[in-house]
Amino acid sequence: MSKLTLADLKKLRDEKKKEMVKREEGKTTQIIIGMGTCGIAAGAKEVFDAFLDEIDAKGLTDVAVTQTGCMGKCHVEPTVEVFAPDMPPIVYRDVKTDIAKRIVNEHLIDRKIIADHIFDKPADILK
Amino acid sequence: MDKMINLKINGRDVTVKAGTTILDAARQIAVKIPTLCWHPDLDPWASCGICVVKINGSSKMLRACTAAVEEGMSVITHDTEIVEVRKTVIELILSAHPNDCLACPRNLECELQVLAAEFGIREMAYPAIKRNLPQDVSTTSLVLNPEKCVLCSRCAKVCQDVQGVWALEFLSRGENTRVAPAADVSLNDSPCIKCGQCSAHCPVGAIYEKSEEHVVWNALRKPDAYPVVQIAPAVRVAIGEAFGLPAGTVETGKLYAALRQLGFKAVFDTNFGADLTIMEEGSEFIDRFVNKNGPLPLITSCCPAWVDYLEKFYCDMIPYFSTAKSPQAMVGALSKTYYAQKMGIKPDEIFMVSIMPCTAKKFEISRSREMSSSGQKDIDVSLTTREISRMIKSAGINFNSLPNEECDSILGEYTGAGTIFGATGGVMEAALRTVYHLLTKKELDNVNFTDVRGLDGVKEATIDVSGTQVRVAVAHGMAHIAEVLEKVKAAVAEGKETPYHFVEVMACRGGCIGGGGQPYGANDEIRKARAAGIYKDDEMSKKRCSHQNPHIQKVYEEFLEKPLSKKAHDLLHTGYTARPEYRW
Amino acid sequence: MKYKNYILICAGTACESSKADEIYRNLMKELDAHKLLNETQVLKTGCFGFCEKGPIVKVLPDESFYVHVKPEDAKELVEEHIIKGRRVNRLLYNKPCEETNVAKKLDSIGFYQKQVRVVLRNCGFIDPEVIDEYIARDGYAALEKVLFEMSADDIINELKTSGLRGRGGAGFPTWRKGMFTKDAQNEEKFVVCNADEGDPGAYMDRSILEGDPHSVLEAMTIAGKTIGANRGYIYIRAEYPLAIHRLEVAIKQAKEFGLLGENILNSGFNFDIEIRLGAGAFVCGEETALLASLEGRRGMPVPRPPFPAVKGLWGKPTLINNVESYANIPAILTKGGNWFAQFGTESSKGTKVFALTGKITNSGLIEVPMGITLREIIYEIGGGIPNGKKFKAVQTGGPSGGMITADYLDTPIDFDNLIKLGSMMGSGGMIVMDEDDCVVDVSKFYLEFTVDESCGKCSPCRIGGRQLMNYLEKITNGEGTDEDIRKMRLIGHAMQMASLCALGQTAPNPIISTLAYFEDEYMAHIHDRKCPAGKCQKLIRYFINEKCIGCTLCAKKCPVDGCIKGEKKQVHVINQEACIKCGECERVCKFKAVVKI
């Protein structure tokens, strides 16, 4: 990657912002797993793998699984935020590998929210 | 001009240079702030917490030893709260200290004891914290007793910052912190050069000279032994301090008398050995300087701590070292050869004791096989000034009222050149006086080479000897030597001419007068006073150049033939070996 | 098949009792009546932590937030909101400060409702190992401004306007540090980030570095530009492998993008950052000890002045800030000092990240505006004390802080108020204690930590800490005396006054604050030989009373052989000599026959 100039950086930012907005608006499917030390200690790495395996198994394409830092909800780790087209963004709590499978099957495929694992989403004061 | 700062201390106006600490500012107007870890030779470490003071308008306390004065500051050095805090800190320190003062080597000379007395400690306020740490008695010279250590850091600071040796370091942390060589090796396996500055700077009895008074007492008791003694140049100007006299008082005569009263059958003077050293080392210099027989600069070797340091840290420079033994070792060797022959005494009956300002001299007497050139140990025991003053006291000898006596003639009489060996620059100055004569066959009109005197860490001078320029350097305080040696090494590496022809090194600040075995309490003021005593002794000497000493001339005529002769080489010279800094 | 709407009903204990179930049934009935069940999913969720407004109903995806919903409102909600798409204004939640009853989209409640995320703005949003995501959220925009638009004085003025104070503990104004270092005359200067987080229970900095490493890199580069430094060091404890990894990745990416290194964005400014690992000594969080350790020396504090701004790393002027302080800076420069200063109190601006732990329902990392009360943090964000226990105190400032009691729960939290209460902000650990916690025992815990972590340099801390520890042990063993309390106060005062660094000066704080607020508890230990919280093992006894039916369960579970004796169906007896006070018998007894006194 070549080094950026000021103009490159601004351009890159605009592009990436649009991508982010798409995600926020639920135009793309994305699973974001909280992978701070707290999340990993609670099993986030296994959950990450479980998502990949299950998405593979169900032949889903176009689902991005990514990591993020601690969302602050250490008492309900691992936490996973799911963006899916035409569905509200949902943060799930206490996501173990079995719940990850359920999220793929129920949330992504059946379009049903898994009631007993909903948590809420951080306030975004900077938005 | 220095920026000046105006402040108030206890309501009194004071004006001092910017950057002055509150402690120093207070001292300037004779306000005493108690301290324990602070030492004038060292950068403040600020660990003990006793020198706390208040600034008017603030509820916090500051350490006077490190806090710099500020314009308009109003310092309070004592009030009920400050005294209470200081006393509590002292009581805490005492709770972690064995408090076995009566059996302590620092009894009556302990700074913690003084603080406890001044603060009116009447009970141990807090339960004792026992640590059960072993003593380190591995070296010939020093005892490290970590149980008594108050972790003031002075020993480590002087070892690292002033001496550049880094033998002592803090190990562990928190309440387990202790001072010991890195990696917890014994002192003897560490880079320690036995200079004893740690012991001279310790405020308590945590590190001290390995006492050998009992060995000497036993020798004095043996009917078949012939105990003899020699005293080093620097001892005569410091021994008086142990008997309440001001630093720098020259007490050679009283010391001779005291030694005879202790039972020594002959009293020699290391100054005689110093004159002899000059003959050998001076001739060695001429040999290298004129005849190009060996590399320059010639580096002096009379300081055993320095010898140890060079063997460990600069072993690549061994060829530059003078092979001449130290004056102590020369007198030792001659006492059991020349003197024994002349007096018809069996060498093995002679028990040679040296009185030195130095703890490394205890190490020197057995540092290599050349130290037994007479066929047995040339010197049997080396005592420090502190040890001999204790012996004199325990014998009940009233030192101050003793008559001045003379030393025994054969290994005793000395010139002013011999006596100045005790101060930094002295060996160089003494050597130059004789080198001038050896090169020119003339005598100097003015024998004083003042450029090499004084307490600057590195002193350089160029001396004109009948048109030949002799470049010399003098370093003291072991950490300063790097500056000189690195210059020499750089010149060698670049193929340039050596920056110096002759280099004098003494491990301790001020030279032997500031040695690690001298009476406690040395600071630059005391070093200057002791050095002044040395130069006074020089000036009062009838002869001030070693080659003029008739007894030296006689010993060559009768015994050694000439400087650097085979016999001189066997008895008065030594060799050096590269040694590792750490032995595992 | 997919749903158009999702209706979430809070079904926590509080809302449940406020008829959440009935609302659920009514909603289902209404939806069924309108044949909407295949378009709308109705969900019962866990507590939103906003119980005083319950029952709560949230409609997604437009995130309408309805409060005080009654079962009979179900019909209107379905007919208006679900069918016609019009919000039911009378039920919408609105913040009290808002003048009109406008529809308020709330994507945060409970845990997040009281929070303001400046420092944690990206934590939980972006992939910390993808620089693009940071850039997309205005990352490196502040650096752009600094490199091309702002002078060093502008930057410092902006920080001054923001009122940002150091988040590492002492709260020194960040702009002043920056100015001192900028004004120090030297060819070489350094920027250092203190990531040696060590308070027990605190992990703010770790989370920031793990979740948003670029924010710290960007801030350090800005700091370098401001003071005229070209090199920065992050001193981080080796126990934070993930944070280290993320930092390494971030540094690599920033260098690839030309946001670190030579000639950043062609501005002519060079800046490099290196990571240095610490061995995890708590004292190395003290800045002078940190610098010593960074230089490869033993981590021991030295007196200040001189401050690092004048004489720091390798004797050169050094700007040293902690992770959280740095993480604030890009946001301040992007949005302006005034924006930042809108949060917080007069003397303490902005937000503070706290690690909320201990006896608290929602433990976690929170970011709140300064000036928030402890009550809001503990009860609204933290969800109160679990298991119906009574709040006793909260410890702020970690082992250097003090305990704050229920009487002061409504004090607005800022640097100065906490000090007035005998505690301190510290780096942001917040440990909540309930009635089962013994203050003497807790003080002992903290002191044990500081005694262990003392560097051993200065005597008040090294010896004073040990002596205090011994007294606390004596008291918790039931051997304390009034004289011990007097001596502890003396030692504590001497440590505060005569210790060299903040570790020693603050080490007695937990004791001094508990002696101030809970002296009676100490007295109970000393005079009555009792631990009121039942925590100090030496002072408690377990007895079996007449409620015992002789089921023998306790005797079977007791780890000490033959300690509990008794025939079947007979009242059992505990041998007090043998009892190790593990409390297992009390836990297993189904008849409440085992009592602790």
Residues 487-546 of C with CB under 8 A from A: none
| Residue span of the structural domain in which A96 resides | 25-119
Q: Are C483 and C375 within 8 A, CB to CB?
A: no
C-alpha C167/C-alpha C204 separation (Å) is 10
Residues of A with Cβ-Cβ distance to C125 under 8 angstroms: 68, 122, 124
pLDDT at B44 over 90: yes
Instruction: Please report the pLDDT score of residue C413 as a whole number.
Output: 93
Domain annotation covers residue A6? no
Structure tokens that stand for B535 in this block = 């130069």
Q: Are C306 and C159 within 8 A, CB to CB?
A: no
Structure tokens that stand for C80 in this block = 């208006």
Q: Are B488 and B316 within 8 A, CB to CB?
A: no
C-alpha C569/C-alpha A3 separation (Å) is 83
DSSP assignment of C327-371: HHHHHHHHH-HHHHHTSB-SSSBSEEEEEEEES-SS-EEEEEETT
Structure tokens that stand for A50 in this block = 């479980």
C-alpha B196/C-alpha B398 separation (Å) is 28
Q: Which residues pair with B62 in a beta bridge?
A: B53
Amino acid at C460: P
Q: What is the mean pLDDT of residues B318-327?
A: 96
The backbone torsions φ and ψ at residue C21, rounded to the nearest 5 degrees and listed phi first, read -65, -45
Asked if the Cβ–Cβ distance from A32 to C127 is below 8 Å, we say yes
Choose among C112, C265, C367: nearest Cβ to A9.
C265
CATH class of B214-572: alpha beta
Structure tokens that stand for B433 in this block = 């006086």
Is C109 within 8 Å of chain A by CB? yes
Domain B94-209 in CATH 3.40.190.10: no
Q: Are B219 and B170 within 8 A, CB to CB?
A: no
CATH 1.20.1440.230 domain locations along chain C: 439-527
Closest residue of B to C497, CA-based?
B61
Neighbouring CB atoms inside 10 A of C530's CB total 18
- pTM here is 0.89
Q: In the block, which residue shows the tokens 């007096």?
A: B343
Report the share of chain B in percent with pLDDT over 90.
Answer: 97
Q: Are B360 and B311 within 8 A, CB to CB?
A: no
Mutation pick from A1, A8, A9, A14 vs chain C, by most beta carbons of C within 10 Å, is A9
Choose among C111, C132, C210: nearest Cβ to A120.
C111
Asked if the Cβ–Cβ distance from C107 to A123 is below 8 Å, we say yes
Residues contacting A32, CB < 8 A, separation 6+: A66, A67, A68, A80, A81, A82, A83, C127
**Is position B284 annotated as part of the catalytic site?**
yes
Residues of C with Cβ-Cβ distance to A112 under 8 angstroms: 3, 41
Q: Give the distance from residue C132's alpha carbon to the nearest chain A alpha carbon, in angstroms.
A: 7
C-alpha B481/C-alpha B475 separation (Å) is 6
CATH topology of domain C351-434: Ubiquitin-like (UB roll) (3.10.20)
Q: What is the mean pLDDT of residues B403-427?
A: 95
The CATH number given to whatever domain includes residue A80 is 3.40.30.10
Amino acid at B156: A
- Strands ordered across the beta sheet of B12-17: B12-17, B4-9, B74-76, B52-55, B61-63
Asked if the Cβ–Cβ distance from A36 to C45 is below 8 Å, we say no
Is C462 within 8 Å of chain B by CB? yes
Marked catalytic residue, from B111, B280, B364, B387: B364
Instruction: Please report the pLDDT score of residue A126 as a whole number.
Output: 28
Marked catalytic residue, from B284, B311, B413, B504: B284
Q: Which is more confidently placed, B290 or C85?
A: B290
DSSP assignment of C9-54: EE-SHHHHHTTHHHHHHHHHHHHHHTT-TTTEEEEEE---S-GGG-
Residues of C with Cβ-Cβ distance to A69 under 8 angstroms: 122-124, 126, 128, 207-208, 210-212, 246
Q: Are B384 and B517 within 8 A, CB to CB?
A: yes
Domain C541-596 in CATH 3.30.70.20: yes
CATH 3.40.50.11540 domain locations along chain C: 131-338
Domain annotation covers residue A52? yes
CATH class of C439-527: mainly alpha
CATH class of B4-78: alpha beta
* Residue C245 burial by Cβ neighbours in a 10 Å radius (0-12, 13-18, 19+): middle
- Return the beta strands (E) in C359-419 as ranges: 364-369, 391-396, 402-405
Choose among C460, C466, C487: nearest Cβ to B175.
C466
Q: Are C495 and C298 within 8 A, CB to CB?
A: no
C-alpha C133/C-alpha C155 separation (Å) is 25
Q: Give the distance from residue C256's alpha carbon to the nearest chain A alpha carbon, in angstroms.
A: 6
Q: Give the distance from residue A126's alpha carbon to the nearest chain C alpha carbon, in angstroms.
A: 7
**Is position B54 annotated as part of the catalytic site?**
no
Choose among C110, C116, C124: nearest Cβ to A70.
C124
Residues of C with Cβ-Cβ distance to B68 under 8 angstroms: 305
Question: 3-state DSSP call for residue B382?
Answer: strand
C-alpha A28/C-alpha A83 separation (Å) is 7
Number of domains forming the structure of chain A? 1
Superfamily of domain C131-338: NADH-ubiquinone oxidoreductase 51kDa subunit (3.40.50.11540)
Q: What is the DSSP letter of C429?
A: E
The backbone torsions φ and ψ at residue B198, rounded to the nearest 5 degrees and listed phi first, read -60, -45
Is C457 within 8 Å of chain B by CB? yes
CA B137 to chain centre: 20
A96-122 per-position pLDDT tens digit: 999 999 999 999 998 888 877 877 543
Q: What is the mean pLDDT of residues B432-452?
A: 93
HSE-up of residue B511 (Cα within 13 Å, Cβ side): 36
* Chains touching C by CB (3 or more pairs below 8 Å): A, B
Report the share of chain B in percent with pLDDT over 70.
Answer: 100
A35-82 per-position pLDDT tens digit: 988 889 899 999 999 999 999 999 888 898 989 888 777 788 899 988
B445-471 per-position pLDDT tens digit: 999 999 999 999 999 999 988 888 999
Q: Give the distance from residue B63's alpha carbon to the nearest chain C alpha carbon, in angstroms.
A: 8
Q: Are β-strands A118-119 and A90-92 bridged in parallel, bridged antiparallel, or unpaired? A: antiparallel
**What ipTM goes with this model?**
0.92
Marked catalytic residue, from B241, B311, B370, B413: B370
Asked if the Cβ–Cβ distance from C365 to A122 is below 8 Å, we say no
Instruction: Please report the pLDDT score of residue C45 as a whole number.
Output: 66
Q: What is the mean pLDDT of residues B51-72?
A: 94
C-alpha C354/C-alpha B497 separation (Å) is 67
**Is position B512 annotated as part of the catalytic site?**
yes
**Is position B539 annotated as part of the catalytic site?**
no
Asked if the Cβ–Cβ distance from C467 to B129 is below 8 Å, we say yes
C-alpha C216/C-alpha C328 separation (Å) is 9
Instruction: Please report the pLDDT score of residue C53 as a whole number.
Output: 65
Counting CB pairs under 8 A, whether chains C and B reach 3 or more, is yes
Question: 3-state DSSP call for residue B170?
Answer: strand
**Is position B370 annotated as part of the catalytic site?**
yes
B325-356 per-position pLDDT tens digit: 999 999 999 999 999 999 999 999 999 999 99
The backbone torsions φ and ψ at residue B299, rounded to the nearest 5 degrees and listed phi first, read -115, 135
C-alpha pair distances (Å), B538 with each of A43, B278, B425, C62, C181: 84, 15, 13, 102, 55
Instruction: Please report the pLDDT score of residue C97 as a whole number.
Output: 34
Instruction: Please report the pLDDT score of residue C99 as a whole number.
Output: 30
Q: Which residues of B141-178 are buried (b: 16+ CB within 10 A; e: fewer)?
A: bbbbbbbbbbbbbbbbbbbbebbbbbbbbbbebbbebb
Hey, CA dihedral for C314, C320, C323, C329, is it positive or negative? Answer: negative
pLDDT band at A123 (very low <50, low <70, confident <90, very high): very low
Marked catalytic residue, from B302, B407, B508, B545: B302
Q: In the block, which residue shows the tokens 């008695």?
A: B137
Asked if the Cβ–Cβ distance from C459 to B61 is below 8 Å, we say no
Closest residue of B to C490, CA-based?
B88
C-alpha C180/C-alpha A110 separation (Å) is 61
**Is position B190 annotated as part of the catalytic site?**
no
597 residues of chain C, pLDDT tens digit each: 467 788 877 755 455 556 778 888 898 898 898 888 888 888 776 555 455 566 778 787 777 778 888 888 889 888 888 888 888 888 887 543 333 333 333 333 455 667 888 998 888 878 899 999 999 999 999 999 999 999 999 999 999 999 999 998 778 999 999 999 999 999 999 999 999 998 888 889 999 999 999 999 999 999 999 999 999 999 999 999 999 999 999 999 999 999 999 999 999 999 999 999 998 888 998 999 999 999 999 999 998 888 999 999 999 999 999 999 999 999 999 999 999 999 999 999 999 999 999 999 888 888 999 999 999 999 888 888 988 899 999 999 888 899 999 999 999 999 999 989 988 888 888 999 999 999 999 999 999 999 999 999 999 999 999 999 999 999 999 999 999 999 999 999 999 999 999 999 999 999 999 999 999 999 999 999 999 999 998 999 899 999 999 999 999 999 999 899 999 999 999 999 999 988 899 999 999 999 988
Hey, CA dihedral for A109, A113, A118, A119, is it positive or negative? Answer: positive
Helices (H), C141-240: 141-148, 152-162, 174-183, 204-211, 213-227
Q: Are C424 and C400 within 8 A, CB to CB?
A: yes
C-alpha C230/C-alpha C16 separation (Å) is 59
CA B117 to chain centre: 29
**Is position B322 annotated as part of the catalytic site?**
yes
Marked catalytic residue, from B65, B149, B512, B545: B512
Neighbouring CB atoms inside 10 A of C438's CB total 25
Is C41 within 8 Å of chain A by CB? yes
Choose among C281, C305, C490: nearest Cβ to B68.
C305
Marked catalytic residue, from B361, B362, B459, B487: B361
Asked if the Cβ–Cβ distance from B88 to C494 is below 8 Å, we say yes
B360-394 per-position pLDDT tens digit: 999 999 999 999 999 999 999 999 999 999 999 99
Residues contacting B417, CB < 8 A, separation 6+: B274, B275, B278, B429, B430, B433, B434, B447, B538, B544, B545, B546
Residues of C with Cβ-Cβ distance to A40 under 8 angstroms: 242
Could you give the dihedral angle defined by the CA atoms of residues C508, C514, C515 and C516, in that order, rounded to the nearest 10 degrees? 110
Q: Are β-strands B266-269 and B468-476 bridged in parallel, bridged antiparallel, or unpaired? A: unpaired
Q: Are B331 and B337 within 8 A, CB to CB?
A: no
Residues of A with Cβ-Cβ distance to C147 under 8 angstroms: 6
C-alpha C299/C-alpha C287 separation (Å) is 10
C-alpha B578/C-alpha B316 separation (Å) is 8
Instruction: Please report the pLDDT score of residue A127 as a whole number.
Output: 27
CATH 3.30.70.20 domain locations along chain C: 541-596
C-alpha pair distances (Å), A43 with each of A46, A119, A120, B549, C128: 6, 17, 20, 90, 18
Hey, CA dihedral for C262, C265, C269, C273, is it positive or negative? Answer: negative
CATH topology of domain C5-91: Glutaredoxin (3.40.30)
